[in-house]
Amino acid sequence: MISLEENSKILFIGDSITDCGRKRENASEPGNGYVRFLAGMLGASYAELNLKFINTGISGDRVRNLRARWEEDCLAHKPDVVSIMIGINDTWRRFNAAKDHTDTAAYKKDYEFILRELESKLKCQIVIVEPFLLPVPEDRKEWRIDLDPKIGAARELAAEYAAAYVPLDGIFAAAALRNEAAYWTPDGVHPSIQGHMLIAESWLEYTGL
């Protein structure tokens, strides 16, 4: 569970799902996705705390990219809570024209590096948000052979380092039983507005906020 205090800074970092059209020259601009929803909901629920929200997501990023920019885009902000969602591009690059594969061992090694940096330099609260995938189009089903082990690695790291874990892959799978998968994410990866709201609501549930 996550706890908040007055002037707490909450930083969100990841790929395009986090980025979601944010203005990169201003890290306090939340973008148009789940970070915006969370900034609104948390800012209203905890108005007396004067919370600060930071979005440093960058479209296309893999965990190696987070590691390369960790000092500037995470540690330098001195956040009190860091929320990380990363992994789908590490899988996607295996199946697109680039064929630039990140194996699970490399994914876990870089992920653990950034978590250790947080633990040793900031001692902040960590939220790990699980990468997810729905079968839209059908060929996305093949991606499971690569993504599932990475989800397993994220869960193992969360057990050691995180204060909260958001199991989005299962959450989206369950949501696809309530309405078709494309309702939540038109391409199996990037959420619709409903998908972004589902992420925000799940984040609040699993952090206890």
For the chain, give me the number of helices (H) and strands (E)?
10, 5
* Cα 91 off chain centre by: 15
* Cα 110 off chain centre by: 15
Smallest CA-to-CA distance from 166 within 87, 80, 94, 102 is with 87
51-88 CB burial, b ≥16 within 10 A, e <16: bbbbbbbbbebbbbbbbeebeebbbebebbbbbbbbbb
Q: Catalogue the active-site residues.
A: 16, 187, 190
